[in-house]
Structure 1
Amino acid sequence: MATGSESSDFQQSGSDGEIIEAGKSNNFAEIVVIRHGETEWNADGRLQGHMDVELNDEGRKQAIAVAQRMASEPNISAIYSSDLKRAFETAQEIAKFCRGLEVVKDPDLRERHLGDLQGLVLQEAGKSCPKAYKALLSNRRDKEIPGGGESLDQLYERCTSALQRIANNHIGERIVVVTHGGVIRSLHRRARPHGQSAGRITNTSVNVFQLSKEEKWTIKIWNDVSHLNQTGYLKSGFGGDKSSG
């Protein structure tokens, strides 16, 4: 994982224990991208997509833990969120701990639409909707999921454009974006198109990106859940391209 060479006014420890600088500069926006807290559907292995599912009790504890972490970090100037409940509830907790900042909803930060698969348990989806399930597992990034579902390319274009748009409005600032597993995978792909796989995206994981106006993307922290050491989290949880966040 690259550490970067920018000056830093704080440091964080990545999930692999590496100390990573997270700098602040007038040349880029620093965006703390956070996955929402756990839902009952996460715990059940049920595909969410655009379905509007609330946090469960564990997810609310996770949201408070990440909110407390954000409150201890300097200079959070804005908070953006997917308009789906699980992300917005997480963002609202963060806002409470960060001087009561207003949460700006952005539907372009929604999870991938999973078409006919939404609401189904992943392990049963192959029998219930074989065509849609085959599309979900396809290696073709342009493959749409039957029932109004998005392709990976469509998700990528939607969410990476949204993050760059947000960054352009906050150059020289540190902001928070609360979103979903599939979105975060796409952001990772944009920042590291030739790098390793993003891996599992954990509920309320912290992922720090730096975006310049010239559309240069850098990852400074990846999937850090150190704030959950005392809270617990869904170790078997899933989220991202092949499932739902």
Structure 2
Amino acid sequence: MTTLLILRHGPTAWNAEGRIQGSIDQPLSDAGRARVSLYRLPPESASLRWVASPKRRAWETATLLGLDPTPEPRIVEMDWGEWEGHRTQDLRVDGRMPDRHDRLGLDFKAPGGESPREVQARLRSWLADVAADGRPTGAVAHNGILRALYALATGWDMRGDPAEELVDGCAHRFTLAEDGTPSVARMNIPLVG
């Protein structure tokens, strides 16, 4: 079994505004940098091989944490296509994001974007590589990656809320079987004391 410790990037201005970032390369906000400066990684993190999404918000988070990660493009955020840059509430009000999208679960897909199931496909490839390597690994990624990983580990179909809330400002520990299949070890490890 291989250990994987994963966390979401710090806050951005678009997070604060409720805008969908997806593949758009947003930096951390000043408030996000201040928040990440308070993060303290679990003791085990010093012995991990670290990777990060090449998106600025994830890379900057890793750098502020004193990490020297390798870029991993398979853990970039889900592509939200035509909805990127828009606020979810505005998309619902003007009818572009139907309320039924939550019922589609893993097959939900914004116009021109990718579905969580497609995210899981690239994530599975990466998880298999991490397991084959065998070294305990840490990753700085995105909410869509955390949700896809949690769904793979628990069988959650992304309809409705997950059994456990995925809390921002926390690390999440998974174990990977030899083929890369993830299992939850511990969720929501606080990064701020």
Q: Same fold (TM over 0.5)?
A: yes
Alpha-carbon distance between aligned partners in 2 of 1:157 and 1:151, rounded to the nearest angstrom? 10
Structure 2 unaligned residues grouped into runs of 5+: none
Alpha-carbon distance between aligned partners in 1 of 2:36 and 2:20, rounded to the nearest angstrom? 21
Q: Aligned residue for 1:69?
A: 41
**Judging changes above 3 Å, is the alpha-carbon distance between structure 1 residues 228 and 41 closer, same or farther for their aligned structure 2 residues?**
same
Residue 104 of structure 1, aligned match among 56, 66, 70: 70
Partner SS for 1:73: helix
Q: Aligned residue for 1:123?
A: 89
- The answer on whether the counterparts of 2:10 and 2:28 sit within 8 Å (CA) in structure 1 is yes
**Judging changes above 3 Å, is the alpha-carbon distance between structure 1 residues 159 and 44 closer, same or farther for their aligned structure 2 residues?**
same
Q: TM-score, normalised by structure 2?
A: 0.85
Q: Aligned residue for 1:188?
A: 150
Q: CA deviation at 1:200?
A: 4.1
Q: Which has the higher helix share?
A: 2
Alpha-carbon distance between aligned partners in 1 of 2:100 and 2:52, rounded to the nearest angstrom? 25
Matches within 5 A, 1:144-223: 144-146=109-111, 148-169=112-133, 171=134, 173-193=135-155, 197=162, 199-223=164-188
- The answer on whether the counterparts of 2:127 and 2:180 sit within 8 Å (CA) in structure 1 is no
Partner SS for 1:32: strand
**Judging changes above 3 Å, is the alpha-carbon distance between structure 1 residues 137 and 74 closer, same or farther for their aligned structure 2 residues?**
closer
- The answer on whether the counterparts of 2:149 and 2:182 sit within 8 Å (CA) in structure 1 is no
Partner SS for 2:19: coil
**Judging changes above 3 Å, is the alpha-carbon distance between structure 1 residues 138 and 75 closer, same or farther for their aligned structure 2 residues?**
closer
- The answer on whether the counterparts of 1:29 and 1:174 sit within 8 Å (CA) in structure 2 is yes
CA RMSD of aligned residues (A): 2.4
Aligned residues: 189
- The answer on whether the counterparts of 1:38 and 1:56 sit within 8 Å (CA) in structure 2 is yes
What percentage of aligned pairs have identical amino acids?
25
Partner SS for 1:86: helix
Q: TM-score, normalised by structure 1?
A: 0.69
